[in-house]
Amino acid sequence: SADMGDVSRELVHEKVASPLKAKRNASERLHAHDLLMHMRKIGWRTRSQLREVYHHRRK
């Protein structure tokens, strides 16, 4: 538990020391999340397109 306390204290100090860095990290994380969602959407779109093509071919 002592180690956890040290870690949290360091994190708080870093946030106070460099709010810009913290903000940049947050935006990067958000961007990565957006990319993930975008990839997921693309995956769904291509999957539905493939299904349509497959059905057309069967008809």
pTM of the model: 0.29
N-terminal to C-terminal alpha carbon distance within the chain: 65
Ordered alpha helix ranges (H), the chain: 2-17, 19-58
The amino acid at residue 47 is: R
pLDDT in tens, 4-46: 666 666 666 555 556 667 677 777 777 777 877 777 777 777 7
- Answer whether 30's CB lies under 8 Å from 22's CB: no
